[in-house]
Structure 1
């Protein structure tokens, strides 16, 4: 699979790190990088990461390229991706955060790529796919959205609960680390609470996952609500879910633990962990067994997710499925 990464910010760099340092990169060639920032800056931010630490390999700058362990990746600075030649690229990983219109989302296709995968919610996408929640929605669409990190955390959990016991109603609060959308010192924002210094206060706000979950799991529409609290930590977020279930088995915890063990995206821990212990975990959500409470009326579940690393791994997973789809079509034709 040949991919191009458009936008070399937090998610773009996390994707490249995951591909370069884990088995998830087997069979994947990053054929092109594109970002407006200077190559020197991008190389430095990739090599020295405040969250994940130094890159465990050799990072070099070459003329028009970023080299990892001696392998050079062409690096471009095109403000319009359609100006590049992307013929032979299976999937463009669109990580700029600006693909909210069809015109921008289609630029990778106009440059010659087979498909585009957007690393966030986008109304311009043909379909929004969350691994472990609505996998069957991915067919032959050319522009796909991977939703948000929080949606990838909560939607598979809600689907699992609904499949096993039926979800009558649920409320999710994401306890989310601060992000680049918040200021480091008080500064004007449209959302007044989010105009406050990110690392000094807990900030109540909204989450796009509220609407996205209903889009991903339409049969639960009207039965789920959600909110967010941004907290002064730099990485790893959490989901605190309270649900009313239609059926109440006596072996709830045991069945939930077994279901997580069988899931490709959900994890489980019985240890009394804190957020920093979950850094660089690849799962969409790791449920905390000690925090699980199955009461007479309501069930409470708590889980951790590395909102950068886990999300980057899901983008790689969906990109693989998109590329395999094209390969299978060509094989069938042959």
Structure 2
């Protein structure tokens, strides 16, 4: 290889990097001014860096056999900035590939986009007259990730504003600083992307310009949110203290509270929503809802598409789950079986209701699934092993192709991701914003049986599902384009 040929690789990289750098402000403006959330084959483009953009172009190879040329996506992005568009979720990669496949003579790019995006061209979007006030009741692992997501999404197309966090009273003088520090630094998900400071005299945290009141209360019913200028608030209860309608109704006794979303499996007749699967069961009359569990969210979309295509006779789901903070660092008393043993030192066999909980979101699978769980010494990212007997025969190549297409084109494409890497391990999935990620190279299939492995970031992936429900509860419904 000559020196010139070697230099060519670096030259091409620099040219691509320059285009990616030019794309960043355009992507930002389209979100802030138009409410457009952009992706490339499911890979997010908002709040990323230039290398992330280039990696997203490379990811297209898993679907199309070759990486997406950034010059093609840049041309589409530039054309989008010239159009008057309503808020939506747009896959820039799919638009670029579809336009590139058109036979010559192709229509002008802007004219083609007007036709392809007719649903949102020169239209008003689903913006609220006023931002929806959101309150986080609890500020643990999920609560802080929800805070990050809400702060990150502040913009024209979101209209959801984190106004307050409610925590239990304590006597620590530095409580506010500690809360802010936990939001600023995270051992799993890394540092907060932006600036955080406290206003001690007002018990407030300011994150990227978002003023967040910290309210100390032992009982949700005792709070008057209107004292802080908060009205008709959507309460995201991430404590798990109350999981039935009777307990969660205490939130609605608070002045200024509007609706409640529980970030845990709901009990009794409470609707358990897995966004993408049964979110259309939500009604404006539902004042209290549950977002189910992280595992239920990971497996239900996959089970949905498999059942629609092949039919599920019966199956078993084994979850290999990261330890959680309800376990002990060292051996100590715990009311749950085996969970008292040291989480960082043991694999802990325990129960999970996730398999049975699938039936709440997908009633056609009622009584067809069993499940169990193994807690393992990792802090985040879990794995569901789905072992199924199907009604129709299946082979590995066909199943792999079907799941790949489901991750891109189906109505649960936001929930299902797909990796064909033979080297993927759990830490590679930290930060995944999908409910679950198909590990394509590990699946097993033959006759009427299959085993499908689904990775999931049980913190971030689940939090993103909670956010999707919250947006729906707030009345924000965004089309996903281009349509399948």
TM range (shorter): over 0.9
Matched, 1:32 2:164: yes
The counterpart of 1:163, out of the listed 276, 288, 308, is 308
What TM-score do you get using the length of structure 1 for normalisation?
0.92
Describe the SS at the equivalent of 1:127: coil
Is the Cα–Cα contact under 8 Å of residues 163 and 211 in structure 2 kept in the other structure?
no
Extract unaligned runs of 5+ from structure 2.
Answer: 1-131, 478-484
The number of residue pairs the alignment matches comes to 326
Q: Partners of 1:315 and 1:89 in 2: how far apart?
A: 19
Is the Cα–Cα contact under 8 Å of residues 135 and 163 in structure 2 kept in the other structure?
yes
Q: Partners of 1:210 and 1:255 in 2: how far apart?
A: 23
CA RMSD of aligned residues (A): 2.0
Matched, 1:264 2:414: yes
In structure 1, the residue matched to 2:180 is: 43
What TM-score do you get using the length of structure 2 for normalisation?
0.64
Is the Cα–Cα contact under 8 Å of residues 125 and 145 in structure 1 kept in the other structure?
no
**Larger RCO, structures 1/2 (Cα 8 Å, 6+ apart):** 1
Q: 1:46 to 1:125 in 2, by over 3 A?
A: farther
Alignment of 1:165-314 (within 5 A): 165-249=310-394, 251-262=398-409, 263-272=413-422, 273-314=424-465
Alignment of 1:89-168 (within 5 A): 89-111=232-254, 112-123=256-267, 126-139=270-283, 140-168=285-313
Q: 1:125 to 1:315 in 2, by over 3 A?
A: farther
Is the Cα–Cα contact under 8 Å of residues 214 and 220 in structure 1 kept in the other structure?
yes
Describe the SS at the equivalent of 1:195: coil
Describe the SS at the equivalent of 2:463: helix
CA drift of 1:27 comes to 2.3
In structure 1, the residue matched to 2:64 is: none
Is the Cα–Cα contact under 8 Å of residues 125 and 144 in structure 1 kept in the other structure?
no
Describe the SS at the equivalent of 1:128: coil
Q: 1:88 to 1:142 in 2, by over 3 A?
A: same
Alignment of 1:46-65 (within 5 A): 46-62=183-199, 63-65=202-204
1:139-173 Cα deviation digits (max 9, x unpaired): 13110000100000111111111111100011101
Describe the SS at the equivalent of 1:193: coil
CA drift of 1:22 comes to 5.4
Matched, 1:321 2:472: yes
Is the Cα–Cα contact under 8 Å of residues 243 and 300 in structure 1 kept in the other structure?
yes
Q: 1:252 to 1:71 in 2, by over 3 A?
A: closer
CA drift of 1:41 comes to 2.0
Q: Partners of 1:288 and 1:23 in 2: how far apart?
A: 33
Q: Partners of 2:296 and 2:435 in 1: how far apart?
A: 9
CA drift of 1:230 comes to 0.3
Is the Cα–Cα contact under 8 Å of residues 148 and 208 in structure 1 kept in the other structure?
no
Structure 1 segments of 4 or more deviating over 6 A? none
Extract unaligned runs of 5+ from structure 1.
Answer: 327-334
Matched, 1:85 2:228: no
Q: Partners of 1:134 and 1:259 in 2: how far apart?
A: 17
In structure 2, the residue matched to 1:329 is: none
Greater Rg over alpha carbons, structure: 2
